[in-house]
Amino acid sequence: MEYTDLYINGTWQKTADRFDVINPATEQVIASVASADIADADAALDAAEAAMAEWAARTPRARSEVLRKAWELMTARLDHFAHLITLENGKAGVDARGEAAYAAEFFRWFAEEAVRADGLITHAPASGARIMVQHKPAGLAVLVTPWNYPAAMGTRKNAPALAAGCGVIIKPASETPLTMLALMPLLEEAGVPKGLVNVLPSKRTGALVDHMLHDPRVRVVSFTGSTGVGRKLLKSAADQVLKPAMELGGNAPVVVMEDADMDIAIEGTMLAKMRNLGEACTAANRIYVHADIAEEFTRRLTEKMAALKVGDGTDPSVDVGPLVNADTRDKVAAFVADAVAKGAKVECGGVTPNGTGYFYPPTVLSGVPETADCVHDEIFGPVAAIQTFTDQEDAIRRANDTEYGLVAYVFSGDFKRALQVCERLDYGMVGLNRGLVSDPAAPFGGTKQSGLGREGGHEGMLEFMETQYISASW
């Protein structure tokens, strides 16, 4: 691997302490990566602070042009990034290329948003003073990214931070640091100043991030990952009263009404369940199907799931790669075993294969009881857990019966009815007759324990800006 060192102040810096990155399909080491310590974090903060002053002073159009160039360069190299994603994450090639394209789009979207940090000038109704409102860069941002989208979760945070005028330090997941490191030469070529973006892979994530969050120069922390880790980061962020942007866990329900178009419902559920092998906070976790159509739905979903080819994602004929590591695979297997022990039926899959690699087959469970663990926690794997309902009110109640509120999916042929159901679901996002909600142009985020703030859309850039109000008389 070409880029395996720390990226600080526009230079590659080796460390004596390193850690291995494993290919989940082969269980072989593919790279030895530098592991950052506290001194490295301080150096990155120094570099970002120095570079930010000039970057923030640039016109919005100047920043926009750099981001636009980054989109062009990444789009031209999608195959390269897709291959790297597959090697370190395991996802199938077609899925990896989709992620790379999605990741690049954040540069294009925020190139357009960089020039739209609109303010306001008006009169105070009582005093007559001018109210002048503008948005300014918040300050240095620490970006902590997960392993399930090695490229997209980095660009979804980095692009709006740069558009806003901030300097950043990226801490990629230890399982998948290579993709983000490989992006740095591209940003250099696009014109990002040295020091503005720094990447610190490390096997000491907790201590490293906590140290940075207690540096007074840091004003924003953006994290994607589990709710448990998010809570810890929020506690650290509270000490310095940082702006937090948190995209945390999910427990996404799919509600399939009896009047749904079956073809659309099956395709949408497949996408919501199997995109990224189910290793996504947006993945369909609980599938509620009206009893009148449950038999046909289960049969057709099972046929689709059973037909998927499992194997090394570098093989272009493969649909489903391995899970990211042994712990994730074993947790998925435990969810299935628990559901079956409590009365669920295995329609396909359900058995961990022998041999090398962290593989688990696409699995459909029917008759999943409410007491099953997978109903209350993220499966994070290729398991479709089907339940039935007969009453719409009951379906809405069960869909909302979770501490999470990231995304839900609804399938119905009656648009008015479907919108009424969507509005009663306590989720930050709802996919209506579609299994994909992620879009750079849309505000991505959840309610309840699924996080704070939004990524993407116009709101995504404002997470990295402070609103300043000037009361003026003249």
pLDDT in tens, 390-427: 999 999 999 999 999 999 999 999 999 999 999 999 99
Are residues 230 and 150 in contact, defined by beta-carbon separation less than 8 angstroms?
A: no
DSSP three-state, residue 241: coil
Q: What is the pLDDT of residue 386?
A: 98
Query: Measured at the alpha carbon of residue 213, what is the angle toward residues 211 and 217, in degrees to the nearest 5?
Result: 105
Are residues 248 and 230 in contact, defined by beta-carbon separation less than 8 angstroms?
A: yes
Q: Does residue 259 have a pLDDT over 80?
A: yes
Residues ≥6 apart with Cβ < 8 Å to 52:
137, 139, 140, 165, 166, 167, 196
Q: Does residue 216 have a pLDDT over 90?
A: yes
Q: What is the pLDDT of residue 1?
A: 64
Q: Which of 307, 392, 304, 295 is nearest to 345 (CA)?
A: 295
| Catalytic residue numbers, as ranges | 247, 281
Q: What is the pLDDT of residue 164?
A: 98
CA pair distance 272, 276, nearest whole angstrom: 9
Are residues 86 and 93 in contact, defined by beta-carbon separation less than 8 angstroms?
A: yes
Q: What is the pLDDT of residue 474?
A: 79
DSSP letter at 59? -
Are residues 431 and 265 in contact, defined by beta-carbon separation less than 8 angstroms?
A: no
Are residues 6 and 36 in contact, defined by beta-carbon separation less than 8 angstroms?
A: yes
Q: What is the pLDDT of residue 2?
A: 84
CA pair distance 227, 402, nearest whole angstrom: 13
| The amino acid at 336 | V
Q: What is the pLDDT of residue 338?
A: 98
- pLDDT average, residue stretch 21-34: 98
Q: What is the pLDDT of residue 133?
A: 96
Residues ≥6 apart with Cβ < 8 Å to 426:
400, 405, 447, 448
Number of other residues whose CB lies within 10 A of the CB of residue 317: 8
Q: How far is CA 383 from CA 54, 58, 331, 354, 379, in A?
A: 49, 49, 11, 18, 7
Q: What is the pLDDT of residue 417?
A: 96
Tell me whether strands 218-224 and 252-256 are parallel, antiparallel or unpaired. unpaired
